[in-house]
Structure 1
Amino acid sequence: MDTEYGYGVTRSREPRRHLLPQALRAPFEARTFREFGYLLLSMPISIVLFVWAVATVSVSAGLLVTFIGIPLMAVALLGCRAFGVMERARARLLLGVEIAEPQPVRSRGGLMSWIGGVLKSGVSWRHLLYSVLHFPWALFAFCTTLPIWLTGWALFTYPVWQWVFPMYAGQAGLQLYGDDHHNVYLDSPGEIALTSLVGLLITLAVPWLIRGFAMMDRVMVIGLLGPSRLEERVTELESDRGVVVDTSAADLRRIERDLHDGAQARLVALAMDLGLAKEKLTEDPEAAAKMVDEAHGEVKVALQELRDLARGIHPAVLTDRGLDAALSSVASRCTVPVQVEVDLPARPVPAIEGIAYYTVSELLQNVSKHSGASRASVDVWRAGDRLMLQVGDNGRGGADATAGSGLAGLAERLDAVDGILVVDSPRGGPTTITAELPWRA
């Protein structure tokens, strides 16, 4: 499989320039109002969710001595999971958090299997925990942010509505202190200006308070309503297993096609030529000798194709002498000069060694076919428990692993073994592609 460079133009979006600094823009940004709206909505939602969780779980727990308590507990947990769907959607809309859906309830069919799946699911119990813990947090966030937000804007705009006090309340201004003998009102120009300044400072500080509270909500939603790390790992391994199976099937199809169209076809033609030579051996020895000579040339070509095919599967030099010699052999077949530097204290496991060989081979094929480079380099070293590969060239650049090219397939292969492929290829070059694999010695 040839990996191709995607020489497309990638347009980068430049950051927007603002006349005001971030601290002055924060009270008026859409993000502030979205997160503030999330905190305000959390209060009534958390009350309903808390009441549901406590009431249903308490009743079902009290009825566990009977058969009714078990399905009631499943219904209680299912209700919490239903609220979780709404909470994830609300977090995506207002907090900008992309949360993957957790694993659904697994059952073998039938009501009792479904009830058992709900009760045994860690997702269900984490949703219940969220229902209980989110209520006191939502109450605290609501009772903190709303009064401070209202106070800040009220004091900031005090010069605008200060006239209400003498006209309708019969007092000079906002009362700061008062008892039976002494009253202090904010009515002088200096006091009004100072009040507005204090309100401005509170108003500028409130968005950061809101964002801090919203960050805590993000942590709770992601940690309790999203898939656990174990579930994510299982899903990742299942996906990687599919990639490995598909890649292996594609390799087998490629080998079968190469054998059928290459060496096998030549051997069939060779057998026919030798049969004709055998028939002419007594009648026309010279023609038979010429046909045998041609067949000898075909044997050499077929043997070379078989060697190339075997080298593509797993070269003998890699097994016998390791990555240094194998990559030097690959580099010698590249159309541009390649400098190879391999600094490894030992050999990794054969599987990782084979993937590393395959990765460098594909990247050097890219250099030969697509880069237009005049020189290239290959560096291999160990960093901790990782095997690092880096292939660079001074070509035209523009390689993109996300453009649906063969680089994307190569990245999937590496990801199947917990590897990483990083492409740094600006338009005009140079190109540096770094692969990271687990060592697993």
Structure 2
Amino acid sequence: MPSVQGMTTTHAEAAAAPAHRGGFLRQLGIDTQYVLLGFPLGIIAIVLSMTLFWLGVGTMIIWIGLPILFGTMYVARGLATVERARLGPVFGRQFPHPYYKSKPGAGPIARLFTPLTDGQSWFDLLHAMFRFIPSTISFALVVAWWSGALGGLSWGLWGWSLPNGPDDQDLPELLGFDGGYGTKVSLYLAAGVFFLGTLYWVVRGAALLEAYFAKGLLCGIHDLRRQVAAANEAREVAQQQKAAAVSAEATALRKLERDIHDGPQQRLVRLAMDLGRAEQQFATDPDAARATVAEALSQTRETLDELRALSRGIAPPILVDRGLQAALTALAGRCTIPVDLDAPRFERLDPAVESTAYFVVAESLTNVAKHSHASEVQVSVQRAAGGLLVEVSDDGVGGASLAKGHGLAGLDDRVRAAGGVLHVESPVGGGTRLTAALPLQGT
């Protein structure tokens, strides 16, 4: 008795097979009608385009040729529109309407001349003039293969009604057969099987021959323009990221310089003064000297703490060693406002992404502690399909902004430098929600 799994697999394969065959038959029908219809369309296109074009060229000397040429361009454009619609089923996707040059604000004469200066219009005309060549080749192949398949398989039903000429008797004998009617049926049946077995690929190749010729002339410029636009957009994004990285680095260096100047540097200056005073007091007042040294030791510890805090701002060791989840946990524990942290553990990410996410949370918590007057903060870091989503929200007074001159401007530069997007919702009196979307490498 077959297993349930084996029965399920067999039924699935049986259900998939007709769908697969149906796809072949559907594509075969699409390609066949595309080629068969393309042949008469090619005749119409070459007659109209050639006649109108050369008539226009021949009568340009008396100016009547110009309107005829304009009309030829628009006729070719109409035929091209029809062909683009026919290309969709062959390739399994729709082709957008290309860009045609236009001058809306120009006068009537200038608008008449516009098609003559448009590259796509000339490609449409070339397709109308020369599409008959691939159409004829494709039409001959498709008709020959369909005729061979249908005629060979059905010859036994109607072949007896045809008169037998000398060639009909000689061919089986040349092949080593007796030349009887049954032998002829077998030969034609074998030929029909051959044509039927290769019918799909021959028809598909013939349709693609005609379709690629049309696609190259009717959609090539549009595809090229789209690729150029995509390249320009990518270049602009790269330039914006570069500028944001430079700005973020400059902001971080200025902040670091200010923090060092306002913190450890001032403490070191005071430490040097205290040690100098203690040196003088040792000879006259040892007790006061010891008190001064003790105070200097306290200043030293505070200075070390500030330097450690600054080093965490540059490259937190816990982030490098243990990952983003551990670093955010430590960051939440140091915040003066209660933090509800939702940061599940996942695999290590790109160091730049982890660093950016850490600084988004760190800078946000710093701003909340300094300016928001909030009672609670929610921090969420989630791995999504398109990247890493970082969200920090509080119930404070709101009013935060990404505009230049505000505290979050540097954070926005840092996020954009990583290829991400930073969004802030902070209505006055309604709290603040900061969301950063960071792309991951390979997504």
Give the TM-score normalised by the residue count of structure 2.
Answer: 0.50
Alpha-carbon spacing, 1:398–1:378, altered in 2? closer, same or farther (3 Å): closer
Could you tell me which residue of structure 2 aligns to residue 298 of structure 1?
none
SS in 2 for 1:100: coil
The letter for the 2-side match of 1:140 is I
Could you tell me which residue of structure 2 aligns to residue 132 of structure 1?
129
Is 1:150 aligned to 2:141, yes or no?
A: no
- Equivalent positions of 1:61-100 (< 5 A) are 61-100=57-96
Could you tell me which residue of structure 2 aligns to residue 225 of structure 1?
218
Alpha-carbon spacing, 1:240–1:97, altered in 2? closer, same or farther (3 Å): same
Distance 2:239 2:92 in 1: 35
Distance 2:97 2:162 in 1: 59
- Equivalent positions of 1:117-196 (< 5 A) are 117-159=114-156, 161-162=157-158, 165=160, 169=161, 177=168, 187-196=180-189
SS in 1 for 2:98: coil
- Equivalent positions of 1:42-441 (< 5 A) are 42-110=38-106, 111-159=108-156, 161-162=157-158, 165=160, 169=161, 177=168, 187-228=180-221, 229-236=223-230, 329=315, 333=319, 336-337=322-323, 372-373=345-346, 375-378=348-351, 399-401=384-386, 433-434=440-441
Distance 2:194 2:113 in 1: 55
**Could you tell me whether the CA contact under 8 Å between 1:336 and 1:373 is conserved in 2?**
no
Give aligned pairs, total: 281
Deviation at 1:199, TM superposition (A): 1.0
**Could you tell me whether the CA contact under 8 Å between 2:350 and 2:440 is conserved in 1?**
no
SS in 1 for 2:60: coil
Deviation at 1:32, TM superposition (A): 1.1
Distance 1:114 1:198 in 2: 58
Q: Return 5+ residue gaps in structure 1 as ranges.
A: 1-15, 256-300, 312-328, 339-367, 381-395, 415-431, 437-441
Q: Return 5+ residue gaps in structure 2 as ranges.
A: 1-11, 249-305, 325-340, 354-380, 391-414, 421-438
SS in 2 for 1:157: helix
Alpha-carbon spacing, 1:245–1:78, altered in 2? closer, same or farther (3 Å): farther
Alpha-carbon spacing, 1:31–1:170, altered in 2? closer, same or farther (3 Å): closer
Deviation at 1:196, TM superposition (A): 0.8
SS in 1 for 2:61: coil
Distance 2:388 2:214 in 1: 33
Could you tell me which residue of structure 2 aligns to residue 6 of structure 1?
none
Deviation at 1:133, TM superposition (A): 1.5
The letter for the 1-side match of 2:99 is Q
Deviation at 1:68, TM superposition (A): 2.7
Distance 1:411 1:136 in 2: 53
The letter for the 2-side match of 1:144 is L
Distance 1:31 1:239 in 2: 37
Alpha-carbon spacing, 1:194–1:178, altered in 2? closer, same or farther (3 Å): closer
Which one has more relative contact order, counting CA pairs under 8 Å at least 6 apart?
1
Could you tell me which residue of structure 2 aligns to residue 429 of structure 1?
none
Give the TM-score normalised by the residue count of structure 1.
Answer: 0.50
Distance 2:55 2:316 in 1: 71
Q: Give RMSD over aligned pairs.
A: 5.1
Could you tell me which residue of structure 2 aligns to residue 30 of structure 1?
26
Distance 2:349 2:91 in 1: 46
Deviation at 1:134, TM superposition (A): 0.7
Distance 2:418 2:99 in 1: 23
Greater fraction helix: 2
Deviation at 1:157, TM superposition (A): 2.5
SS in 2 for 1:400: coil
Fraction of identical pairs, as percent: 17
Deviation at 1:236, TM superposition (A): 2.9
Distance 1:174 1:336 in 2: 91
Deviation at 1:96, TM superposition (A): 2.2
Distance 1:332 1:244 in 2: 31
Distance 1:412 1:116 in 2: 48
Alpha-carbon spacing, 1:238–1:76, altered in 2? closer, same or farther (3 Å): farther
Distance 2:133 2:58 in 1: 24
SS in 2 for 1:99: coil
Deviation at 1:200, TM superposition (A): 0.3
